[in-house]
Amino acid sequence: MQKASEYLETLRCRMDNDNLKKLLAIPDFRVHQFVAEAAELCNPRDIFVCSDTPDEIAYIKHMAIASGEECAALSTPGHTFHFDGYFDQGRDREVTKFLVPKGDFLDPALKQIDRDEGLREILGLLRNSMSGRTMIVRFLILGPANSIFTIPCMECTDSWYVAHSVSLLYRSGYETFLKMGPETEFFKTLHSAGKLDERMISVDYEKKRIYIDYVTNTVYSVNTQYAGNSVGFKKLALRLAIRKAYREGWLAEHFMIMGVHGPGGRKTYVAGAFPSACGKTSTAMLPGETILADDIAYVRNIDGICRAVNAEAGVLGILKNVNPVDDPLLYKVLTSPNEIIFSNVLVKDAKPWWLGMGCELPSEGVNFSGKWFKGKRGPNGKEIPPASENARYTISIKALPNCDPELDNPLGVELGAIIYGGRDYRAYVPIQQSFSWEHGIIAYGASLETETTFAITEEQGKYEINVMSIQDFISIPLGQYIRHYLEFGRRLKRQPIIFGANYFLRDLKTGFFLNNPRDKHVWIKWIELRVHRDVGAIKTPTGLIPKYEDLVRLFRQVLNKDYSREDYVRQFTIRVPENLRKIERVKEFWTSKVYDTPKELLQILNEQAERLMEARERFGNYIPPDRFEEVE
């Protein structure tokens, strides 16, 4: 164990006096130790410490452009673009692993490696990885400042693009670190883009690794630039926070939070968990409503009330299918002057282009593969699309005109509802309400089944269970996680109502989608009314569904369009065979891939199966909604 004087000497050798002064102003020796050890390992030329002054934030953006990691050659003021490597276009599940010490365990469903083995590998890859480059030290916080939700965090990186991205995605934290006591728990991340080519792109993609050490609250990332892998806070904001939340009795969740306007000027806050590319951000950005969070939320029981905050302060959003028809507000923001980083788009005529933007794309330009032309094929022989299917934008949430005014409220906002939704082409109806907290958590959250999408780097189109849309991030045994979730709700005086959403239901014969992308606004408005008991519902075996007459009125009010009974029947018919098969797949997952499945989970699933079979005996396999009884 090195002494404080030895760490100080290490820092003096690699930092000028101004940066050393900024670092030493933080009284916590653990901070100095982390920076010194990172410098000794990665061997940077020098170290820049950001103390969050406006000049320093501007300098980081300037260096992101000057270094070539970003380019400002776009016609709209404030817009820059960045390219990741051909093989670095999404969250890489296979090389993202928990470091598990001997004697501890995680469920087989979670990617993991022995801690000693993993540390030897990742530290070996990081050794001398910053040679000749600057190590940038950023201090940020998760959650609002001066709040029970606040978690201090720091990242050491050699990527100016990463350092710039966190300026938009997180709240400044240097002042928090200045006041931090010696017992304060904080999270750390160490990242290096590794060897770069002439386009400033990581080249050793086969040696890409993202390892999470929950013993020391540290994330290590190397040989990657894609933000979901390199912005370390994206890893620790959930993976490490989930363990902290479990110990302390709160929830860290993969939630969007929106303010939904209801009758009489009221606003109801609704959270939603959707896997990537399943409609989470587009829901949070619905016109006329407000957005408080688009990705990660922390949820606490404060005096018996379920209150939540946005862990972040910006949006790393998917661009695909953002167009002026389906996402008018977001599209306008993305095409207006503002500080926005576009990643992995097509660049042509000083404009960013992405898939599904509602117009014809150019037949040539520059993208993540270099000079691109229609028909160009990549190293794997596949045709390269104009832009990555996982092309992204990075923007401060405060730049959005619909940003909720409670964003930085240290007490957060009260949640009236929580939605769980995925890509379920066959079984669940577009929107339904649970019978209870327990039923919703199990039947909608723990049973969330979805199709893998372009947001992860593996084969698309496979069906999988994605528990609470957070399975990739859960850092405790899944059985513990579910029990903790159930107990959290039981301790509340006012529980949020749980809903299940499915924007991707298809017709079983034609394969056509039964939801229009804009229909989700109607489902959200119905949720708001149900929270306040303003409308009734119909009780089915899987949950409470809307009444036809209420949807007719909402479609007219919200979308100014007619809603036919035929559409209603097709969307809300209960498909008994598909639902029963879904339950079997969910049970198979929980009994084969989880060590300690709660008995309550299997009981609730069995009860749902029994209700479905009883309904089938009375009405057949496919039951239109008018066969079921109405409830208040």
* DSSP assignment of 327-347: -HHHHHHHTSSS-EEEES-EE
Q: Name the helix (H) or strand (E) containing 350.
A: none
Q: Where in 276-391 does DSSP place strands (E)?
A: 290-293, 297-302, 305-310, 314-318, 340-343, 346-348, 351-353, 364-367, 370-373
Annotated catalytic residues are 278
Read off the pTM. 0.92
> 315: Cβ–Cβ under 8 A, 6 or more apart, which residues?
169, 281, 294, 295, 393, 394, 395, 396, 397, 400
Between CA 257 and CA 404 the distance in angstroms is: 10
CA 418 to chain centre: 16
Q: How far apart are the first and last CA of the chain?
A: 66
Please tell me the predicted confidence (pLDDT) of residue 454: 39
At 301, is the secondary structure helix, strand, or coil? Answer: strand
Residues of the chain with pLDDT under 50: 1, 453-461
Query: What pLDDT score was predicted for residue 456?
Result: 41
Where does CATH 3.90.228.20 sit in the chain? 251-313+407-627
Query: CATH 3.40.449.10: which residues of the chain?
Result: 4-69+85-237
pLDDT at 93: 83
CATH of domain 251-313+407-627: 3.90.228.20
Specify the pLDDT at position 587: 96
CA quadruple 58, 60, 61, 65: dihedral positive or negative?
positive
Backbone angles phi, psi at 125, to 5 degrees: -70, -30
pLDDT at residue 545 in the model: 98
Q: Which CATH architecture has domain 4-69+85-237?
A: 3-Layer(aba) Sandwich (3.40)
pLDDT at site 91: 81
Provide the token pair at 267: 């606003």
